[in-house]
Amino acid sequence: MLSRIFNNQPLMKGFWTVFLVCDLAFAQIQPDTKAIGGANLPTSEINIFISNERQALEALSSGTKRLERLCAAPLKPQPERPTAQDLSDLRSQIQDRSQRIGASAERSVSLTQFAVTSARQDNQQACSPLNRMKSLFMSSPADLLSCDITKRQLELATNLNIAAKEWFQIHEERKRLFGQLILLESNGCTRNGFAQRMVQAHERSLAVFEDQALTLFENALRREVPTSGNKP
């Protein structure tokens, strides 16, 4: 039955549309301003990055679930089964990139969490009754605004930390879904090379942006949340 489904061109077009929607994600000119954790992100670059990562994951998850439902039915054996070596090579490819991107995502979480801690300390100090009392006797308007400034920096750091954590979670879930696609192919549910094509579609659409994601977070922290502390 499933073989007939995959030979049905209109239906297969629908499957590929679901899976390859990530190819179109970065073609959008206007950024998606959907909020993260109830607050807008401080930079449009990170906003766009997280939004597109989320959309691509949703498409991959939806397509994988559809395949799992179809594969629950009795399958007509595929004429050619994938070799164990082919799928093993794909697993190694996914694992190698996953380790590198995972380390970058973890670093982003660590940096933004450190920024939250530093910004919170600065805010507590700036907004303390003693500091407010001192500011009343200072002539510089900037000193009078220091409490509001540090409060805003704490908000920005918190939003960046939420975004970094979401990126890490997206990365982990996508790795799991890729593993599921390999399993479906090894069971004869999809044609040979299907999982590989999904991975390649991801690479074409998102890899170059993921490689730069850590720099995006570092630049955002440097620009939006300057703190007196050192990096972890």
Residue 149 lies in a domain: no
146/154 Cα distance (integer angstroms): 12
Residue 169 lies in a domain: yes
| pLDDT tens per residue across all 232 residues of the chain | 333 333 333 333 434 444 444 333 333 323 343 434 434 444 678 988 999 999 999 999 998 998 888 887 655 555 555 567 778 888 888 899 999 999 999 999 999 999 999 999 888 888 877 666 666 666 555 545 578 888 999 999 999 999 999 999 999 999 999 999 988 888 888 888 888 888 888 888 888 899 999 999 999 998 888 764 546 6
In total, how many domains does the chain have? 1
Residue 8 lies in a domain: yes
Residue 131 lies in a domain: no
Residue 101 lies in a domain: yes
Domain of 13, in residue numbers: 2-107+156-224
126/148 Cα distance (integer angstroms): 9
60/69 Cα distance (integer angstroms): 14
Residue 112 lies in a domain: no
Residue 145 lies in a domain: no
pTM value is 0.74
Residue 89 lies in a domain: yes
